[in-house]
Amino acid sequence: MSATYLDAILAVHREAAAADTRNRDELLGACEAMALPRDFGAALRAPGLSVIAEVKRRSPSKGDLAANLDPAEVATDYETGGAACLSVLTDEDHFGGSPADLQAARSAVSLPVLRKDFTVSVNDVLDARLMGADAVLLIVAALTDDELDEFATVAASVSLTALFEIHDEAELERALAADARVIGVNQRDLVTFEVDQDRAVRMAPQIPTDRVRVAESGVRGPDDARVLYRAGYDAVLVGESVVTAAGRSEAVAALRAVAD
List 87, 121, 165, 171, catalytic entry? 165
List 87, 121, 123, 217, catalytic entry? 217
121 as an active site residue: the answer is: no
54 as an active site residue: the answer is: yes
| Residue spans of alpha helices (H) in 87-160 | 92-95, 99-108, 122-130, 145-157
How far is residue 78's CA from residue 95's CA, in Å, rounded to a whole number?
Answer: 20
Exposed, middle or buried: residue 17 (CB in 10 Å: 0-12, 13-18, 19+)? Answer: middle
Residue 165, beta-bridge partner list: 139, 184
List 87, 123, 171, 216, catalytic entry? 216
Exposed, middle or buried: residue 92 (CB in 10 Å: 0-12, 13-18, 19+)? Answer: middle
62 as an active site residue: the answer is: no
116 as an active site residue: the answer is: yes
92 as an active site residue: the answer is: no
List 50, 87, 186, 249, catalytic entry? 186
How far is residue 94's CA from residue 25's CA, in Å, rounded to a whole number?
Answer: 30
List C-alpha distances in Å: 1 to 14, 167, 175, 202: 19, 16, 22, 24
Is residue 111 within 8 A of residue 79, CB to CB? The reply is yes
216 as an active site residue: the answer is: yes
Task: Give the type of residue at 205.
Answer: P
186 as an active site residue: the answer is: yes
List 87, 116, 240, 249, catalytic entry? 116
Known catalytic residues are 54, 56, 116, 165, 186, 216-217
